[in-house]
Structure 1
Amino acid sequence: MKKSLPLLLLLFFILIGYGPLFGQGGSTSKPAEKDSIKKMDFTLMPFLSYNRNLKLMFGAIPMMMYKLDPSDSISPKSLSGLSAIYTTNHSYFVAGFNRWYFKEDTWRASFFALTGDNNSQFYMDDIDAPGFYDYGTKTTIVSAGIQREIVNRLYGGLTYTYSHYDTQYEDDVQPPSTTKTNGLEINLLLDTRDAVYYPTKGRRTRLRWITYPEGLGNDIDANKILSEYNHYFSVHDDRDVFAARFAGKFGLGDIAFEQQVTLGGKDIRGYSQGKYRGDGLMALQGEYRYNFNHKMGLVGFAGMATIYGSDTESFNWKLYPGAGVGYRYRAFKTVKFNIGLDAAVGKDDWGVYFRIGESF
């Protein structure tokens, strides 16, 4: 499958995202977040969600926001949290996540670790009995990254991610596999948003190249190019927000089963069965965020996506719509940071999504 079309589209959207560097249309000064002087803000959130794959999901997510340097009035508050989730299809996930902002927002860092057992399904049509087949993957992921401001609002950085997958398939439709990957990511981030946790205007453009070279202990060379372009527009005297997003994920080379992308999640809501799976995808979305008071809000969203590199040829380059509505509630007192629940429908599928922060 030729990769030239997705790469050309990728370059087109990235150039749009970098418009503020070469002309008008974006903020060029760092806005300070309107944070309280409170040193730490803690919240404990219950987790409750459902989809057609993992079934009922429940758990708990404690989180806290804080300033690494109380005298730093420019950096957003840092965020740290844990999540423990169990599902009624006997999957479980335990994760820790951190985002750090420091040195007047000239440095940003992240650390993420996850372990769990994911009992899921995928679609096969090249066998005698086409349909969904279950698989279980014991997963361990550890990722650490650092970013430095290069010029005004443009960041560059490195991320290292270790992943280990042990996968068993129902009825031996595929042989069991153990996959270990060491990914090195080089990334660029252009961030002109007025706030990192709830932007009302500005842009966020991110370009990531992830390589899995044999020299880092990978069995097969592979590469991914991941891109995002989010644009935020203030509406009704800053009460509401309209947000637009393009996402592109492009797998190059030999992409392992566990590294493939599945239609769904924040790229296009409304798909939870794991049916549409391939080496890459592209998606467009729009979302209106209506805040009827300072603690609660509603959202409505719609989008379209496509995939390529699927083992089921008839899935490739088709258009997959998704649309839905959601509810938001402010989780922290000192920073606008929402949690919420979305319900969405797609092509012959649907899903319910618990949100930590906004969808994008």
Structure 2
Amino acid sequence: MQTLSASIPKFSRKLRLFSPLLVTIAALAHGADNNARPSFFDATDGQFDMSNMLLQHKGVLPVPDIITEPAIGYGFGLALLYFTVPPAAKPDNTSDGTNDDTQPHKIKPPNITGVGGFVTNTHSWAAGLLHFHTWDDDHIRYLGVLGKLDLNLNYYGPRGNANAYQLSGIGTIQQLLFRLSDSPWYVGPRYTFLDSTTRLGPAIPEGIHNFQRDLKVGKGGIVIDYDTRDNFFYPRSGTYAELEAELARGGLGSDRSFEMQAAKAYRWIELSSKWVLGLRADLGFSQGDIPFFAQPYVDLRGVSQAKFQDRRQITGELELRYYVTPRWSVLGFGGVGRAYGQLHTFSEAPTAFGFGTGFRYLIARKLGMTMGVDIAHGPGQNAFYIQVGSAWR
């Protein structure tokens, strides 16, 4: 309910090796019409680019993922993303997403339909569908997710020892936001539902209360967004902030009654034409009879998902990006966080940390979309992530 970089030349070779797969999928997507084959090189700079294939030839973007997430083990994932651009938000043919005279003030978000899944060596797997859509020149934003999961995870009690458990179920997220006039503010409802089955060992671990094997969680609430990003995928400037207030009740399909609040804010600052500083703050709070697996947790690259989990969490992260060329950027990042409230007080809670490096390539100029990888180190572990755009969601 809640992704390394040796050098740019090495990744460039990998990109060229990966290109035949992209070409094949594009051909399949638009019927392999030999008279209308898309160009995979941008006319503005001659570099590999998928903008025309994605926007004009109804191609799909394959996003492979080598999973090294400590929470679920090692494995492989694949997502297929299909993009369309609303008529009023169609980008021009000259912008390359860089800070120059041809850059539009803002690249508005495209419509995205995705399908994907993953499997790991711990027999964990998940599959899902996603759709993001905008109407009325980005005055209405819809997000819908439907997924099924079967995960083998660990719950870390007050002593920090791992207790294995299995979480399986099917769930959905439905969200509809409306812009307030022509301001950067959006507001609207969100509904989340999970029909879950949880399996623990013969003894219930310390810190888990009122355990139920079969549990339905239904939450409804309000979401407020503030969005001045110049780019939906990989911003160079602007702010994205979100406030959430949700409650779970029987009338919403939940077997438990509890409340959750969350606040997150991302700020990107252009220090110069080549340097961009990113700032992130993330807060989560919960009250009531909340299931142990649904509690807020620290989310950082290099930190095992849900290892640092409690009634509340607070996280901060910095990221510094450098543009080697208009298409290639390298970055370094680091962050800390704490989860506290029931298992620990704030002062007693262990500190989670994660830091690392990565890079991105501007793979679809007209969308401002990048792809790349990050590697991160956290408490006693390393992790590798394939990223589409920014790691901050």
Question: After superposition, what is the alpha-carbon deviation per residue over 1:291-347, rounded to whole angstroms, capped at 9, x for unaligned?
Answer: 323443221001121111343669854433321112323343531222332222233
1:248 to partner: Cα distance: 0.5
Instruction: Sort the Cα spacing of 1:293 and 1:82 in 2 relative to 1 into closer, same or farther, 3 A.
Output: farther
* Identity score, percent: 21
Equivalenced residue count is: 319
Distance 2:346 2:314 in 1: 17
| SS of the residue 1:334 aligns to | helix
Aligned partner letter, 1:188: I
Question: Which of the pair is proportionally richer in strand?
Answer: 1
Of 136, 146, 155, the match for 1:113 = 146
Match of 1:143 in 2: 173
Match of 2:284 in 1: 249
Instruction: Sort the Cα spacing of 1:333 and 1:99 in 2 relative to 1 into closer, same or farther, 3 A.
Output: same
* 2:185–2:225 CA contact under 8 A, matched in 1: yes
Distance 1:38 1:352 in 2: 30
1:91 to partner: Cα distance: 0.6
* 1:169–1:176 CA contact under 8 A, matched in 2: no
Of 261, 274, 298, the match for 1:225 = 261
Aligned partner letter, 2:271: V
Distance 1:322 1:163 in 2: 29
Question: After superposition, what is the alpha-carbon deviation per residue over 1:204-241, rounded to whole angstroms, capped at 9, x for unaligned?
Answer: 1110111112322322321111111111111332x342
Structure 1: give runs of 5+ residues left out of the alignment.
Answer: 1-34
* 1:307–1:316 CA contact under 8 A, matched in 2: no
Instruction: Sort the Cα spacing of 1:70 and 1:178 in 2 relative to 1 into closer, same or farther, 3 A.
Output: same
Distance 1:234 1:120 in 2: 39
Match of 1:77 in 2: 110
Distance 1:340 1:261 in 2: 28
Distance 2:348 2:290 in 1: 16
Aligned partner letter, 1:158: P
TM-score w.r.t. length of structure 2: 0.74
Please identify, of 173-182 and 223-232, the stretch whose mean Cα deviation from structure 2 is larger.
173-182
* 1:165–1:258 CA contact under 8 A, matched in 2: no
Question: After superposition, what is the alpha-carbon deviation per residue over 1:266-310, rounded to whole angstroms, capped at 9, x for unaligned?
Answer: xx2221164322122111111012232344322100112111134
* 2:301–2:354 CA contact under 8 A, matched in 1: yes
| SS of the residue 1:262 aligns to | coil
**Greater gyration radius:** 2
Distance 2:226 2:89 in 1: 25
Aligned partner letter, 1:223: E
1:142 to partner: Cα distance: 0.7
Match of 1:57 in 2: 75
* 1:310–1:316 CA contact under 8 A, matched in 2: no
Instruction: Sort the Cα spacing of 1:71 and 1:125 in 2 relative to 1 into closer, same or farther, 3 A.
Output: closer
Is 1:180 aligned to residue 213 of structure 2? no
Of 190, 193, 196, the match for 1:165 = 196
| SS of the residue 1:109 aligns to | strand
1:157 to partner: Cα distance: 0.8
Structure 2: give runs of 5+ residues left out of the alignment.
Answer: 1-50, 92-106, 206-210
1:75 to partner: Cα distance: 4.5
1:349 to partner: Cα distance: 3.9
